[in-house]
């Protein structure tokens, strides 16, 4: 094999769920649909499927048609009548030192109580519920309670601004919103309920708001709309069993908003059946799950990683998941290592941006802790640079733990390109397509490029956990993913495949910027910029950043007569943070007299990027004359 390769030890290979990666890959390649049918058969269904894959109306693919199921049946219900009943499902630690554990039995009790409450508010199958909660166990309960009733959850990351929350609540026409009084962030209270009040000023669909008490400060409660969760669960309606609604495999499970290259965020739709099978199988094979594992995914359930591999994946596998409310560096940069040691975490899944930021604090913070419980590491969200890979592998994993670099997207629901632990690894490469998947690297005209050459990444096989559409925007779904190269799923990433078949993802090829692994559309950032009263035009680009991967650099044109001061630049930065989310705050705001545009009026971000990096600006022939 070419380049830097890390070979797994014989013990790791022998003990792996998939000891021979290539053999299973070959079998799955010969019959991808059969591979998925076998995985689906490892789970329980109320009614079997008639057809594993229905591609008669592609790209509106359907999986397990005719089958009846509910993801909660497989994630929770089946465990309480089996050997996992008293196994821990969730270990939770709050930033302020609070902690709680839930066995599968206890988790089911809490989910039933919340489902009873939600149902009593008139929420039924198909209704949308927005969840805006910090990383506390109620977030699990709320997601599972919605799914149990057949309601469609839409989780909005609790760092999002009132405007962003407002847009997502209204676009999904949510009937109910579940939130908390506040969240703990670096020892401070972040006032969630105040943001909710602002967000819901013009949200006619929302009938009720459930408020979980977390931080305890005074909040304003609207007597007709707002209810404390602890009051509701004390009522008789919360008591008793709550039946899991039998869903069609293709019924929607959730909507999750993510950024696209144009306009408003995309509402990605996932289903009960296919999503369940995809998440279950990828989690088991790639993280090599064992009965005694204690698994920690540091992602927030506000993103797809939290949905698939913090909430649903571990539960579908009957595993024990760990969730921590806070971040890695508060009060000191050893917080995560301390938690791994104390709780005996065995599988640790995090993001390159976190690794890079922790690396900077030096090895001594890590070496104060015994991390010998760890046996497998994972990375997600953006390409992991070889230097960060090596540090994670050596200093955290002690060169003992396989490091699974998993490539996937909100749209794909589950891993698509990733190694399994029995496979040799190349630092910086996400490995090979997952079993049953195949990729191609194409040029602009759709021709495959030779090995080693960069091009556009497409997935060529449908897979169960794929998005079904964009909520109420079928056309945009087809246009965004299936129209450039008909029959192939356009990922929006640039990548190359080397001689050994390993995929190297380079980054987004569209107008999406990955900042600390979070996805931001230039269009969204620009619309936040121009909503500032003095900004008339704006362009946002991503520039390489040592820790964040990319940082946003904004170019703004301001009204004539206004002075471009440092204070104004700072004000504009803060404005974007408040309009969109703190993640979207540009690192730098540069005042310019005009923006380079094509004759048809499109901003040439490529030119701006080259300028900012001091590089050759390339072909300017389509540039509008000044």
- Are the beta carbons of 72 and 144 closer than 8 angstroms? yes
Q: Return d(Cα 133, Cα 158) in angstroms, integer.
A: 6
> Considering beta carbons, is residue 329 or 385 the nearer one to ligand WT7?
385
Of residues 426 through 465, those in contact with ligand WT7 by CB under 6 A are 430
| 508 is a site residue for ligand WT7 (CB under 6 A) | yes
Asked if residue 528 lies in contact with residue 576, where contact means CB atoms within 8 angstroms, the answer is yes
Figure out which of the listed residues 505, 515, 523, 584 binds ligand WT7, where binding follows CB under 6 A: 505
Q: What is the separation of C-alpha 477 from the centre of its chain, rounded to a whole number of angstroms?
A: 19
493 lies in the binding site for ligand WT7 (CB under 6 A): yes
Q: Indicate which single residue of 183, 491, 535, 572 sits in contact with ligand WT7 (rule: CB under 6 A).
A: 491
Residue 61 C-beta: closest distance to ligand WT7, Å: 19
Rounded to a whole number of angstroms, the minimum distance from the CB of residue 495 to ligand WT7 is 8
Part of the chain binding ligand WT7 (CB under 6 A), chosen from 102-110, 115-123, 238-246, 400-408: 400-408
Of 108 and 258, the one with the shorter C-beta distance to ligand WT7 is: 258
**What is the closest distance, in whole angstroms, from the C-beta atom of residue 302 to ligand WT7 in the complex?**
11
Do residues 557 and 535 touch, judged by C-beta distance below 8 A? Answer: yes
DSSP state of 329: S
Q: Token pair for residue 57?
A: 């109306």
The binder of ligand WT7 chosen from 174, 320, 409, 516 (CB under 6 A): 409
- Taking CB under 6 A as the criterion, the residue among 90, 142, 209, 304 binding ligand WT7 is 304
Per the document, the length of the chain is 626
Nearer residue to ligand WT7 within complex by CB, 505 or 554: 505
Options 69, 116, 346, 406; binder of ligand WT7; rule CB under 6 A: 406
- Number of shown-chain residues binding ligand WT7 (CB under 6 A): 23
Smallest separation, CB 489 to ligand WT7 (Å): 11
Of residues 363-392, which lie at the interface with ligand WT7 (CB under 6 A)? Answer: 380-383
DSSP structure class, residue 309: I
| 602 CB-near residues (< 8 Å, 6+ apart) | none
Interface positions, 249-288, toward ligand WT7 (CB under 6 A)? 258
509-568: which residues touch ligand WT7 (CB under 6 A)? 514, 519
In terms of Cβ atoms closer than 10 Å to its own Cβ (0-12, 13-18, 19+), residue 358 is: buried
In degrees and rounded to multiples of 5, residue 188 shows phi and psi of -110, 155
Residue from 492, 542, 586, 596 touching ligand WT7 (CB under 6 A): that is 492
Window 139-178: contact mask with ligand WT7 (x via CB under 6 A): ----------------------------------------
Instruction: Please tell me the distance from the alpha carbon of residue 597 to that of residue 297, in angstroms, as a whole number.
Output: 43
Q: Provide the mask over 578-617, with x wherever binding to ligand WT7 is found by CB under 6 A and - wherever it is not.
A: ----------------------------------------
Least CB distance to ligand WT7 at residue 508 (A): 5
Number of residue whose CB is nearest ligand WT7:
410
Contact between 349 and ligand WT7 by CB under 6 A: the answer reads no
Q: How far is the CB of 393 from ligand WT7 (least distance, A)?
A: 15
* Rounded CA separation 541/550 (Å): 9
Supply the minimum distance, in Å, between the C-beta of residue 14 and ligand WT7: 27
- 408, 434, 463, 489: which one binds ligand WT7 (CB under 6 A): 408
Minimum CB separation from ligand WT7 for residue 557, in Å?
30
The residue (of 78 and 545) whose beta carbon lies closer to ligand WT7 is 545
199-258: which residues touch ligand WT7 (CB under 6 A)? 258
* Closer residue to ligand WT7 (CB): 323 or 491: 491
Among 350, 410, 516, 581, binds ligand WT7 (CB under 6 A): 410
Q: Taking a C-beta distance cutoff of 8 angstroms, is the pair 23, 422 a contact?
A: no
Q: Yes or no: say if 264 and 167 are a contact pair by the CB < 8 Å rule.
A: yes
Alpha-carbon span 43 to 35, nearest angstrom: 14
Say how far apart CA 508 and CA 495 lie, in whole Å: 9
Question: Which residues 6+ apart lie within 8 Å of 493 measured at CB?
Answer: 456, 457, 505, 506, 507, 508, 509
Q: Give CA–CA dist 374/490, Å, rounded.
A: 36
Q: From residue 505, how far is each of 287, 324, 407, 490 by CA, in Å?
A: 21, 29, 8, 14
Maximum distance among all Cα pairs of the chain, rounded to whole angstroms? 73
In 3D space, the residue among 615, 623, 603, 614 whose CA is nearest the CA of residue 261 turns out to be 603
The DSSP letter of residue 450 is: P
Contact range with ligand WT7 by CB under 6 A, out of 17-25, 95-103, 487-495, 520-528:
487-495
Triad 503, 506, 508: Cα angle to 5°: 120
Cα dihedral value 356, 362, 364, 370, nearest 10? 10
Residue 24-63 contact track with ligand WT7, rule CB under 6 A, x = bound: ----------------------------------------
133 contact partners, CB below 8 Å, separation of at least 6: 139, 142, 155, 158, 178, 179, 180, 192, 212
Q: Taking contact as CB under 6 A, which single stretch among the options 48-56, 116-124, 184-192, 399-407 is the one that binds ligand WT7? A: 399-407
Pairwise CA distance, residues 419 & 423, whole Å: 6
**Closer to ligand WT7 at the Cβ: 203 or 261?**
261
Nearer to ligand WT7, 48 or 263 (CB): 263
CB of 300 to ligand WT7, least distance (A): 11
- Helix and strand numbers, DSSP H then E, in the chain: 21, 29
Closest C-alpha to 548, from 585, 502, 601, 493? 585
Q: At what angle do helices 192-199 and 162-172 cross, to 10 degrees?
A: 50
Q: How far is the CB of 518 from ligand WT7 (least distance, A)?
A: 7
Query: Which residues of the shown chain bind ligand WT7 in the complex (CB under 6 A)?
Result: 258, 303-305, 380-383, 405-410, 430, 491-493, 505, 507-508, 514, 519
């Amino acid at each position: 094999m070419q380049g830097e390769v890390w070979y797994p030890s014989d013990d790791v290979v022998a003990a792996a769920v998939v000891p021979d990666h290539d053999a299973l890959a070959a079998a799955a390649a010969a019959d991808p649909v059969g591979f998925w049918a076998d995985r689906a058969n490892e789970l329980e269904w109320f009614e079997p499927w008639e057809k594993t894959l229905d591609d008669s109306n592609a790209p509106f693919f359907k999986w397990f048609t005719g089958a009846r199921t509910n993801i909660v049946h497989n994630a929770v219900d089946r465990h309480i009548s089996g050997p996992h009943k008293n196994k821990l499902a969730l270990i939770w630690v709050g930033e302020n030192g609070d902690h709680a554990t839930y066995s599968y039995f206890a988790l089911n009790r809490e989910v039933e109580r919340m489902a009873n409450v939600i149902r009593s508010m008139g929420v039924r199958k198909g209704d949308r519920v927005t969840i805006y909660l910090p990383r506390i166990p109620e977030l699990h309960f709320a997601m599972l309670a919605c799914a149990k009733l057949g309601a469609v959850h839409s989780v909005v990351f609790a760092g999002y601004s009132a405007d962003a929350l407002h847009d997502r609540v209204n676009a999904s026409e949510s009937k109910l919103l579940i939130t908390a009084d506040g969240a703990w962030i670096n020892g401070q209270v972040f006032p969630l309920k105040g943001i909710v009040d602002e967000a819901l000023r013009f949200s006619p669909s929302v009938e009720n708001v459930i408020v979980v008490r977390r931080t305890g400060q005074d909040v304003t409660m609207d007597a007709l709309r707002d209810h404390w969760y602890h009051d509701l669960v004390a009522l008789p309606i919360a008591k008793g069993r709550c039946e899991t609604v039998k869903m069609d495999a293709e019924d929607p499970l959730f909507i999750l908003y993510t950024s696209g290259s144009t306009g408003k965020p995309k509402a990605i739709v996932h289903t009960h059946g296919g999503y369940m099978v995809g998440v279950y199988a990828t989690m088991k094979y790639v993280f090599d799950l064992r009965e005694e594992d204690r698994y920690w995914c540091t992602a927030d359930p506000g993103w797809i990683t939290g949905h698939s591999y913090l909430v649903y994946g571990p539960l579908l596998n009957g595993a024990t998941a760990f969730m921590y409310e806070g971040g890695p560096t508060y009060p000191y940069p050893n917080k995560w290592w301390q938690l791994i040691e104390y709780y005996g975490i065995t599988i640790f899944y995090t993001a390159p941006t976190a690794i890079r930021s922790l690396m900077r604090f030096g090895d001594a913070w890590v070496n104060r802790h015994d991390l010998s419980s760890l046996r497998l590491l994972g990375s997600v969200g953006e390409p992991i640079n070889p230097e960060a890979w090596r540090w994670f592998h050596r200093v955290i994993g002690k060169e003992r733990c396989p490091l699974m670099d998993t490539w996937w997207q909100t749209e794909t629901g589950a891993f698509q390109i990733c190694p399994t632990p029995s496979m040799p690894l190349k630092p910086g490469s996400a490995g090979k397509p997952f079993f049953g998947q195949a990729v191609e690297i194409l040029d602009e005209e759709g021709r495959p490029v030779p090995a080693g050459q960069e091009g556009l990444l497409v997935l060529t096989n449908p897979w169960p956990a794929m998005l079904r559409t964009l909520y109420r925007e079928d056309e945009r779904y087809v246009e965004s993913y299936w129209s450039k190269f008909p029959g192939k799923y356009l990922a929006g990433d640039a990548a190359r495949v080397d001689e050994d078949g390993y995929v190297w993802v380079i980054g987004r090829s569209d107008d999406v910027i990955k900042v600390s692994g979070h996805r931001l559309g230039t269009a969204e950032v620009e619309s936040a910029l121009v909503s500032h009263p003095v900004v008339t035009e704006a362009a946002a680009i991503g520039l390489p950043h040592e820790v964040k991967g990319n940082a946003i650099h904004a170019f703004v044109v301001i009204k004539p007569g206004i002075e471009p001061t440092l204070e104004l630049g700072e004000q504009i930065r803060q404005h974007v943070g408040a309009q969109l989310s703190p993640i979207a705050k540009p690192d730098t705001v540069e005042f310019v007299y005009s923006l380079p545009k094509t004759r048809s009026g499109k901003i040439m971000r490529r030119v701006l990027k080259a300028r900012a990096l001091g590089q050759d600006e390339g072909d300017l022939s389509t540039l509008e004359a000044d």
